Structures are given as structure tokens and as C-alpha cells.
Amino acid sequence: MNNIFKKSLASLLCALLLLSLLPLVAAPGQMVTGVSVMADRTSAYVGDTVRFAAIHLVGVSNPDHVRYQFTPYMGSIGGSSMFHHELGISYNPTVDFKLWRTDYIFMQVQATEITTFVYGFSSPVWVRLRPAPTGVKAETYSATAIKLTWKAVPTADMYEVQRATSKTGSYTTVKKVYSGTTFIDTSRKPEVTYYYKVQAMVKRPGYTTYHPSSLPSSPVLGIALGKTSISRVSALGRDRVTLGWAAASGATGYKLLRSRTAGGAYSLVKNVYGTSLTVTGLSPNTAYFYKVQPFKKVGTTSVLGPLSAYRSVRTLK
């Protein structure tokens, strides 16, 4: 009798033990049946941080006891391989993931309820990656302007040009460019270094999508270059005239320009590194029109200042 009792008690204990282990051996997703993952956007640039979130948990007895593990899969369209790695397990149902591979990313989440140790996998969410605007180049265009160029983004309807006075500073919008990939910034301040970014934009009926900005341009200096005016001009003979002009602040030299008519095309006579010049080799009894333009050498580039008003002179007979 005692042996029979002992056998029955042992059988009962084994049964209770097996029942207690059922959650551990339950089929995946048996209780967490409705987990999904979503992204805060469907397309993004390489370098963007996209937020993924686990949502729609079904079959969970206590949402506060659920752990999440996000796994990104990344690869190239048409490629035969896919890279993936598991992110850390946490109780946070969201994860911020920086996109650093090209073409696309799939994100999948596993949700596990720690009180029952049952779990479920979501279907993957797909985010298409796009390149950021590239080739942003800023250069001194004139004494009063900086020229900005960049490579076109195929999907962009327009671009927003942004400017800051330090590479990591606060960028403010300078201009929206609706066509082309060039912008002349005439609102700069003299002797201030600027950095530029370009942001692609896509217009749709009722809304505009802003994409991330490009990397900052190389720094470019706003040039301080004053104006000049021709102060004197007179004929010295049948084939020569003399001119003098006011000094322009910041100028390295001056371009003396000449035309046969007041409104005609002016061609370069000479680069002058002073404020006067005698011009020879002219025709007798002939009217000439002159302008002066200051310039400043910046590296190998000559930055041009504003043109002076014209002055005319006639050679002697």
C-alpha cells in the first residue's frame, strides 16, 4: 500500500511539474499573437536616425512585463546577401536606429512576456534609403556675393539653402530654390565665415516633405571690398589719355575697362595695382569710355567688387 501511495504521489508531482513548464515550451507566438513594428517614415537618407516602434500587442497579460529585441536587416537591391545584427533587449518598445547602409532596411521585433516566457515575431517593416544631397560647394563669387552649387537629387522638387557661421552651429534658411542647383547669396556680411547646407524638398498636394540636409560645405569667407569712382580723366595727346580713381577699401588692385560707347561692351585694358594710369596707343580724335572695378586676391581667385560709373574722354586731333 505504501508503495502504491508513493508511486501515485510521484506521478502527481511529475504531472504538476510538467504543467508548470508548459509556458516554457509553448509554441512561439502562442500568446503574443499580434505584435507589429512600424517606422516613423517610409524612406530616409543614409545617416538619418529612424524611430521604430512595437505596436498592437495581442495576447499579453501584462504589457509592462514585455521585453523587446529589434533586429535590422540591411542590403542592396538586387544583391544576394543581407547584413543583420540584433540590438540589445530592453523594456522600451521603441528604438532609434541610424541608417548607415545603402538601398533598404527591414526591421523586425521579437516581443517576449517575461512572466510566461512566450514570445512572438512581427512581420518586418521596410524603409527605403536615399542618398543625401552631395557636392555642395560654396565659393566667393564677388565682393558682395557667395556662389553655392550642388548635385541634383532626382526626387526633389525644390531645395532649401541653409547657412551658419560655424560648422556645427544653428543653420537658418537663406533661400528656397525652385529650379536648378545654383544659388547666389548676396546677403552675407563682410569678413564673416559661412557654412552652407542644402535640403531637398518634395511637394505634394497639401503638404511638403522635408528631407535631411546635406553635409556642411567647406567654409567660405565674406569679402569686404569697397567701391571706387573715377576722379579725373583727360587727354594728353593724339594717342594717349590719363585717368585717376579713388582707392577702394580692401582692394588688391583695379581692373581698368574700356568701350567705344557708353552702353557697349567693356573690355580689359590692364590690371592696375595703384590708383592712376596713362593709356597709350589710342586713335586721334576718338571718344573712349572707361570704368574701374576693384578686385581682391583670395588664394588663386580674384574677387571682383562693384563697377564704377563710366567717364568719357576724347583724344586730341
Give 210-237 pLDDT, tens digit per residue: 666 788 898 887 777 888 999 999 999 9
Quickly state the pLDDT bin for 153 (edges 50, 70, 90). Answer: confident
User: Does the predicted TM-score (pTM) go above 0.85?
Assistant: no
CATH number of 230-314: 2.60.40.10
For residue 34, the one-letter residue type is G
- Domain 137-221: CATH class, spelled out: mainly beta
Residue with cell 586731333: 317
Residue 133 has pLDDT above 70, yes or no: yes
278-312: per-residue pLDDT in tens? 999 999 999 999 999 999 887 777 788 889 999 99
11-47: per-residue pLDDT in tens? 544 443 443 443 444 334 344 556 777 888 777 765 6
- Span of 68-72, 124-128, 285-289 with lowest mean pLDDT: 124-128
Residue range(s) in the chain whose domain bears CATH number 2.60.40.10: 23-130, 137-221, 230-314
Topology of 23-130 in CATH? Immunoglobulin-like (2.60.40)
Mean pLDDT of the chain: 78
Quickly state the pLDDT bin for 126 (edges 50, 70, 90). Answer: low
